[in-house]
Amino acid sequence: MTDWKNEIRAAIRSHGIRYVRFLWCDNAGLIRAKAVHTAFLEDYLEGAGVGIAAAQQAVPVMVDALASGSGLTPAGEVHMRADWSTFTLLPYAPGHARVLTDIHEGEAPWPHCPRSFLRRMIEWAGQHGWQIRAAFENEFYLLRREGDRVVPADSTVFAQTAALDVLAPMLEELSSALEAQGIVPEMIYAESGPGQFEMPIRYAEALRAADNQIIFRETVRAVARRHGLIASFVPKIFPDKAGNGAHLHFSLWQGDQNRTADPRRPEALSLEAQTFIAGILHHLPALMVFTTPSPNSYKRIRPRFWSGAFTCWGYGNREAAVRVPQPPAGRPITHVELKTVDPSCNPYLALGAMIAAGLDGLEQGLDPGEPVQVDPADLSEQERATRGIRPLPASLGEAIAALEEDEALLQALGPELARSYLAVRRAEWEAMKDLPHEEEVQILLERY
Ligand code: GLU
Ligand code: MG
C-alpha cells in the first residue's frame, strides 16, 4: 500500500510546491489561510499544527477588532491541524497547495472550531443510524470594475446562452480547476441577474460537502481574478436584482441506501425525512443565524424571489423554505432542498446546525404538516396561520433573538461556540443595521 505521506511528498516535489495553505473558515464566514513553507513539511506531516490567536474566532467581517462578549481574549493560542486527506494542489496558484484543517487546543478539538462542530453533528446522526449527504448549490455574480463602480460582467438573463459564450474562457478554466480538486460540476448556466451564474456540484458525504463549499468559493474567486473579474457571493448585491442563494441539498442515508423517499411511494418523502424536515422548519428562524448569517442576507429573503421566505415545505414549490425537488417520471425522490441558505454562511456551521435541527425533529417525532403546493405569499395571513406557516425573520436581529431562545440549537453548539458565534453575529448586526446599502456591499463584496 502506498503511504499517503509519500504521495504528498512526491506531489510537492514533482510540482515544485513551495507553500501549503492551511485553511479555516471563521465565525464571520470568512475563509482564511496561513501558508506554510514546504521546507518544514515533515513537521506538519507528523501532526504539528499552525498557530492562530484564539481571539481570531471573535473577529467580525467588517473590522479587525474583537467582538465583545465572545469569551475570547487576545491571550491564547490554538492550532490548525491539517486534515491531509483534503490535500490538493491549487490549479489557479502555481507553487501553492492547500489543506483544510481542524482547530485544536492542545490535543483536543477546540470547542470553537466550526469543522469539529460539524464532525460532532455527523457523529450524532451516526448514533441515530443516519448519514447525511449534501451539496451547496451556489449562485454568484461576476463583476467588473469600471472606474470606482462595479458592474455586472454581462447583461444576460436566466439561462441565456450568450452568457456561456461571453465568459467561456473563464468558465472553462473554472470547471477544469474544480475537477482537478475532485469537485464535479453538474451544470452551469446563467442565473436571472446580469452577470449571475449558478453552478450545482455533485453531492458528497456531509464533511466533504462543507469542505467542497470552501473549495468552491475559493476557486471561483481566484479564477475570476485571473480573468480580471470579481466574483462575489454576497447574498444581495443589487437591491432590485436576484440574490445569491446557496440552497442546501441533502439526503438521508443508511449505509448505501438513500432513505429520503418513502419505499412504498417513492414519489413521496419517507416518514423519517418528514420528521427531519419538521425539525428544520421548527428551528428555522433560529437556524437562519447560521444559514443566512449576514445582515445583508435578509435583503435576499423576500417573497417571490424563490429564496424561501416562509416556514413551509412543498413538492417542487420554489417559494417554500423546504422544497422537495421532483424527479423525472418513474424515478424516486432523491433529496430535499433548504432554500433559506446563502453563500456568506460558514458551511460547517450551517450544515452542522441544520443536521442538529433535523435530528431534533427525528428525536421528537415532529410533523411538518401538509405540503404546501401554492405560493405561500398568495395565502391570506389567516390561512397561513391556520396551516402553521410563519414568515421568517426579517432581519439578522430577529434571527439572533430566535436563536437566543432555542435551547436545542444552543446545546448542540456547546456553550463556547454559541457564545463566540453569537458575539460575532451581534457585532455585525449592530455595525451594519443602519448602513446604506452601497456601503454595506462595499465592505462585503470581496469578503464573500
Ligand atoms: N436566486 C434565488 C435565491 O436567492 C434562487 C433562484 C433559484 O431557484 O435558483 O435563492
Ligand atoms: Mg438558482
* CA-nearest residue, atom 6 of ligand 1: 306
pLDDT value of residue 2: 63
- Number of structural domains, the chain? 2
Q: How far is ligand 1, taken at its centre, from the CA of residue 243, in Å? A: 7
- Residue 185 included in any domain: yes
Minimal CA–CA distance to 309: which of 238, 382, 234, 372?
A: 372
- Which of 307, 345, 375 gets mutated to test ligand 1 (max ligand atoms within 8 A of its CB)? 307
- Residue 421 included in any domain: yes
Q: Do 70 and 137 fall within a single domain?
A: no
Q: Do 286 and 426 fall within a single domain?
A: yes
Q: Tell me how far CA of residue 394 lies from CA of 46, 174, 287, 444, in angstroms.
A: 48, 35, 14, 20
Q: Do 168 and 258 fall within a single domain?
A: yes
Rounded distance, CA 298 to CA 402, Å? Answer: 15
Any idea which ligand is nearest the CA of 340?
A: 1
Q: Do 186 and 103 fall within a single domain?
A: no
C-alpha cell at 203: 453531492
Minimal CA–CA distance to 137: which of 194, 211, 187?
A: 187
Which atom, in ligand 1's list, is nearest to the CA of 244?
Answer: 4
pLDDT value of residue 262: 94
Residue finishing a domain among 112, 130, 145:
112
Which atom, in ligand 1's list, is nearest to the CA of 308?
Answer: 10
Which atom, in ligand 1's list, is nearest to the CA of 235?
Answer: 4
pLDDT value of residue 329: 85
Taking a C-beta distance cutoff of 8 angstroms, is the pair 178, 163 a contact?
Answer: no
- Residue 117 included in any domain: no
Q: How far is ligand 1, taken at its centre, from the CA of residue 98, in Å? A: 30
Q: Do 241 and 316 fall within a single domain?
A: yes
Which atom, in ligand 1's list, is nearest to the CA of 137?
Answer: 9
CA dihedral 297, 298, 304, 306 (to 10 degrees): 30
Q: How far is ligand 1, taken at its centre, from the CA of residue 304, in Å? A: 10
Q: How far is ligand 2, taken at its centre, from the CA of residue 225, in Å? A: 23
Q: Do 295 and 377 fall within a single domain?
A: yes
Q: How far is ligand 1, taken at its centre, from the CA of residue 427, in Å? A: 28
C-alpha cell at 123: 457523529
Pocket of ligand 1 (CB under 6 A): 139, 242-243, 245, 300, 305-307, 318, 339
Which residues span the domain enclosing 98? 3-112
Q: Do 357 and 397 fall within a single domain?
A: yes
CATH number at residue 67: 3.10.20.70
CATH number at residue 371: 3.30.590.10
Which atom, in ligand 1's list, is nearest to the CA of 245?
Answer: 10
Q: Do 88 and 150 fall within a single domain?
A: no
Q: Do 209 and 294 fall within a single domain?
A: yes
Q: Which residues of the chain have pLDDT under 70?
A: 1-2
Q: What pLDDT, in 10s, does the model give residues 247-306? A: 999 999 999 999 999 999 989 999 999 999 999 999 999 999 999 999 999 999 988 888
Q: Do 101 and 148 fall within a single domain?
A: no
DSSP string, 23-84: EEE-TTS-EEEEEEEGGGHHHHHTT--EEEEGGGGG--TT-SSPPTTSS--SS-EEEEEEEE
pLDDT value of residue 156: 92
